[in-house]
Amino acid sequence: MRSLRHFLLLALLIVLPASVLHAAVGLVTVPERDVVRMTIYNAVDLTLIQEARTLILKKGLNRIQYQWAGTLIDATSLELRGLDQAAKVEILNVVYPPNSPATLVWEIESQIDGPAKFEISYFTSGLTWGADYVLRAAPDERTAELEGWVSVTNGSGEDYPKVEVRLVVGSINLVEQIRDLATNQLQERSRAVTRSEMKKAGNRAKAMMAMDAAAPAAAAREMVADKPEVVSARLGDYHIFSVSGVQQVTNGATTRFQAITTEEPMKLEVLYRVGFLTDQAIKLYRFINDKDHQLPDGPLPEGLWQVFRVTDAKTRALSYSGSTGSAYVPPNQKVELNLGVDPAIAVKQVQAWHGETNHHYDNNGRVDAFTTHDRYRFRLVNTAKIPVSVEYLVNAGGDWTIEGLTGERRDQSTYRHQAQVAPGAVLELGPFIISTRQGERIPPVKPPEIQPLPKVQVGK
pLDDT tens digits, residue range 296-310?
778 888 999 999 999
Question: What local confidence, expressed as pLDDT, does residue 153 receive?
Answer: 96
Domain boundaries, the chain: 11-34+48-124, 127-261, 345-439
Into which CATH architecture does domain 345-439 fall? Sandwich (2.60)
| 297 Cβ contact list (under 8 Å, min separation 6) | 232, 291, 331
For β-strands 303-312 and 282-288, DSSP reports them as unpaired
Cβ-in-10-Å burial (0-12, 13-18, 19+) of 14 comes to: middle
- Tell me how far apart the alpha carbons of residues 155 and 387 are, in angstroms, rounded to a whole number: 49
pLDDT at 18: 35
- CB distance 357 to 371 below 8 Å: yes
User: Exposed, middle or buried, 388 (CB in 10 Å: 0-12/13-18/19+)?
Assistant: buried
pLDDT confidence of residue 284:
96
Number of C-beta neighbours around residue 379 at 10 A: 15
Low-confidence ranges of the chain (pLDDT < 70): 1-31, 170-229, 231-238, 440-460
In 155-295, the DSSP E strands lie at 160-169, 230-235, 238-249, 254-261, 266-267, 269-275, 282-288
Q: What is the pTM of this model?
A: 0.71
pLDDT score recorded for residue 32: 73
Tell me what pLDDT residue 197 has.
Answer: 38
Give the pLDDT confidence of 160-188 residue by residue, as tens digits. 998 999 998 765 554 444 445 444 433 33
Q: Can you give the pLDDT at residue 191?
A: 31
